[in-house]
Structure 1
Amino acid sequence: MGMLIAGVALLGACGEREPIVGEVVPGGAMATATMRTASGAEAGRATAREVAGGVRFTLDARAVPPGMHGAHVHTTGRCDAPGFESAGPHWNPTAMKHGPNNPQGPHLGDLPNITVGADGRGTVAMTMQGATMAGLLDADGSAMMIHAAADDLVTDPSGNSGARIVCGVFRAG
């Protein structure tokens, strides 16, 4: 009987494994942001979800001008219109340079460009390894931003991506 219990315990332990980087963490934290233009019109939604090894960001835009736009997480959870400067600079807790093509980058808030179609809709998603939900949702929060122009993915501090045109504050839940 003792051997049967030990065998069952061993089988239970075999079923557990380390999560693969990028996999959703069961019971992991999540935050969402309603994206808004400077006039207050809703322009989509962003989500941040805890995954193994980092945070998965997804941005679903709508009613945004067609073309390529820089998409970044900014360091402060404020979106005061019209210019959204209250969101501060890019989220950069590791003090890196801007952009994945910069040898000293990227910021943890650097996402790929979002391509918006003629219908005003676009989606971009990426997992930022090393990012944490605790850092994202710190005392002053964070915001997701869409910029007017494409990000060149290298120029510090913002990739020459132009004006801030859509912003949303991440909220836990």
Structure 2
Amino acid sequence: MVDADAFRTVLGNFATGVTVVTLPGEEPHGITVNAFASLSLDPPVVLVSLDHGTEAHRLLQETDTDAYAVNVLTTDQRGLAEHFAGMSEDGDPFTEESTTTEATGAPVFEDALATVDCTLHDTFTVGDHTIYAGRAEHAAVRDETADPLTFYRGDWGTITDDPVDD
């Protein structure tokens, strides 16, 4: 079996985008997630993977919460990523940042690069995580000119090169 630390190091060599997944409610909740992907185009479904030890997982499992929004972050939103990753407890982004709601009532950050607002479609438990498949009820590119925030080898970054031409 692969050593957990070695496995984490290997996976850290895969550059990912950074998102904040938000849940609706009287007290909205958010969590930084880089395990996000498209799952299906027809129907339009995306997935996020949440550790069983997180509050977001608990809310989706133990309450009537049946929706989430994925906020794809820009390089200017590193503070949001750090806040929702538990690295900073400065302020409340839900009151300090411009947010709106779309179809499900989950908060979306107006300055995000893109957002996908989802109703819960299905769940899959695998090891210490649950994969939440969400049917896209609304999706939008919010800032076509912004650079995406990335995570690679344990550090924040961005895409700095032009796309590779064939």
TM normalised by structure 1 equals 0.33
Computing the radius of gyration over CA atoms, which structure comes out larger, 1 or 2? 1
Looking at secondary structure, tell me which structure has more helix per residue: 2
Larger % of strand: which? 2
TM-score, scaled relative to structure 2: 0.34
